[in-house]
Structure 1
């Protein structure tokens, strides 16, 4: 492997004590000699402490600054051209970084996602498929914790929006495609195991009204640059009116 193959794993955490041990064990398992990790402790009550043997990881402590700002801070310290996101409560497969580094090396313009290991995924393959950004106006099936991309896409897109209370990931995808010209690709093969427990998943704690209002705001801000095709507008209109399709 060459340095061009290296990836920095980016993780932010606030009060994720219940997941730290298994996260650090997983990180030690997946990092190759050329890889590293940057972890931002976003104002945890109990300060995060790195295991002594985890030499490839760098810990940055901050006051509570929020998810978007913490992601930007972590990526700003990355020493590699390639970035992989991993949430504190998810686990990556041992070959995740190898597979995603390979696709980014030959396709530097993509946001590379994978599937998660979930019950509804009945079949999988090692094929990559492009997803039109406009599809995200219908639903967002992408797992942020499975994302890998080149650092210059993040720079061109202006990073993550630190002011959004949620939908930070969706906003970044749409901005990366609209401003940085990135394409969205997803691998059919699962490369992460996701925490789907609503009692510990951060997304489940977001108030419905805040989520809906923020989602509408994010979709509206990018609509001019990513206009839905006429067939999708008609489909959504029929659905809103209760007309059978």
Structure 2
């Protein structure tokens, strides 16, 4: 996050932290697997399963965000900071964004980093967690692809709101998929180790879900989206987070 803050200062925009988020968690998982292998701690195959899963997720997410983040600042961060970075200063950005996201990355990674150096007690939960991770990565990748295809269409030929595909059932399929990925990592990395580790690290997927829904995710994004009448109509019939059948319009 320190390196990312320096890049943000140079570019004059905080949104670069979104690219660093996936990379930070991928590096944490890979580092934990390396430590487990070198020290001969835990269950080696599970450590590398976790590292591979988080690595695939983190690299895909960072690459996707990097591809779409060229340009100016994300309105969410201007709202969070209280103005553009040049106006509020790096001190505010460090306090409100980089320190928070650095601490959050450390906390969210705990089920993976602790799981890497621990023995597997319930192998079946590694499988269940892997299935949930797969569901999550599919929701993220497919949702992002559908949104990218929508944005490539000329403005006068596309509907005012994307309401097809996964977006028909949830307003944020990518955020929902992200949450599934980390609940899957908790099942495979923490709960599969035992009840004690599972309970101690439960805060990680809970906090990740909180960030995705309330802090820097869906709620913050929709503060600006709800200014559009078409989006308000879409929101009235579509679940915000968990995929559900569309509600009948009034």
**TM-score, normalization: structure 1?**
0.31
User: Which protein is richer in strand relative to its size?
Assistant: 1
User: Which protein is richer in helix relative to its size?
Assistant: 2
